[in-house]
Amino acid sequence: MVEDVADYKWSSYRHNALGEIDKLINEHPLYTELGDNTQQRYLAYQALFDELDISQQQMQITKATLNGEVYGSNAFHSTIGELIDRVTRLGSHGGDRKSAEYKKQAKLA
């Protein structure tokens, strides 16, 4: 969505890592444990994101989106599938057209 987490306007990053005041944010106890003062907390919070590499996950999200699928764990697929009453992951092409699973997918398409 953005190259730099600080550019995402709905993130608390600018408040927690850069010190921009945001009256909507209540600092979580885990955040306040990152340091004895605000400067230490800013640096510790920034370091959490410096170590984060989401490039692989971004590729998976993009692939799922382009395929018209939901991205997430099997449990997430199951929950979302029940909520929207349709498959959330593409099945293999072809297959046994007489199977109940195929008929279910074909019916929903």
The string of pLDDT tens digits covering residues 12-67 is: 999 999 999 999 999 999 999 999 999 999 999 999 988 777 778 888 888 888 88
Under a CB-based contact definition with an 8 Å cutoff, are residues 16 and 42 in contact? yes
Residue with tokens 């987490």: 5
* Residue entry with tokens 């029940």: 82
Give the H or E element holding residue 56. helix 55-67
Q: Say how many C-beta atoms besides its own lie within 10 A of residue 82's C-beta.
A: 10
What angle is formed at CA 92 by the lines to CA 89 and CA 93, rounded to 5 degrees? 125
Tell me the two tokens of residue 74.
Answer: 């099997």
Q: How far apart are the C-alpha atoms of 60 and 73, rounded to whole Å?
A: 12
Q: What is the mean pLDDT of residues 59-86?
A: 88
pTM of the model as a whole? 0.52
pLDDT score, position 17: 95
**Which residue carries 């199951």 as its tokens?**
78
